[in-house]
Amino acid sequence: EAGVAQSPRYKIIEKRQSVAFWCNPISGHATLYWYQQILGQGPKLLIQFQNNGVVDDSQLPKDRFSAERLKGVDSTLKIQPAKLEDSAVYLCASSLAATSPYGYTFGSGTRLTVV
Amino acid sequence: AQTVTQSQPEMSVQEAETVTLSCTYDTSENNYYLFWYKQPPSRQMILVIRQEAYKQQNATENRFSVNFQKAAKSFSLKISDSQLGDTAMYFCAFLQGGSEKLVFGKGTKLTVNP
């Protein structure tokens, strides 16, 4: 089966600019996650979708970050305006169900550098 | 809140030897799952092995095995016959049964030397 697709692979922007990341999960996976991985740390959950509804966005900095999942399939994560501390890898993951004991399938991530 | 601790920021091993990565976690629940993920330079998180807390038998996947000590809340990963391709970041992760959030440790950078 095809994996989780993410684009772009890399992005460099200046602070205060905006940026968007795209994710296409595995077909049939109802649950989609966005994680932020700062260099030297483990991934941290930003937002979780169940189909096209938000389940958990408690760690999402809502003053600058937004995310949507259109028709319960693809998802977009946006940052506006970006800050230097947003430099990180943004990982998208999907799973059949939120409590899947098989873990999640991750994409290759987008490395964002804010200068 | 559940926490996952990996106390070894970096480790190295010679090719063909065995290495063990440590992980401890904190929870008051009985129903949960534990995972080890590998993240090579390509950045994709790859599931290496998983363990259900209700199972006493340690999980094994080819050269990878775990030592699951439920009472001690310890979940170490043993890699036997290390290969150069095992060089990567390794993350221990915890998923509460009925929860929806996979919690990661900070990772251990493993280098396999020729």
Angstrom distance (rounded) from CA A52 to CA A49:
6
Please give the C-alpha separations between residue A54 and each of A47, A49, A58, A67, in angstroms, as whole numbers.
7, 5, 10, 9
B4-32 pLDDT, tens digit each: 999 999 999 999 999 999 999 998 888 88
- Band of the pLDDT at A52, cuts 50, 70, 90? confident
Q: What local confidence, expressed as pLDDT, does residue A104 receive? A: 85
What letter represents residue A114's amino acid?
V
User: With contact defined as beta carbons under 8 Å apart, do A78 and A65 qualify?
Assistant: yes
H or E segment and range at residue A68: strand A65-69
Q: What local confidence, expressed as pLDDT, does residue B104 receive? A: 93
The answer to whether B88 contacts chain A (CB < 8 Å) is: no
Instruction: Reduce the secondary structure of B56-88 to three states and give it as a string.
Output: CCCCEECCEEEEEECCCCEEEEEECCCCHHHCE
Q: What local confidence, expressed as pLDDT, does residue B102 receive? A: 86
The answer to whether B37 contacts chain A (CB < 8 Å) is: yes
Q: Do B35 and A42 touch (CB under 8 A)?
A: no
The answer to whether A102 contacts chain B (CB < 8 Å) is: yes
The answer to whether B1 contacts chain A (CB < 8 Å) is: no
Q: Do B43 and A56 touch (CB under 8 A)?
A: no
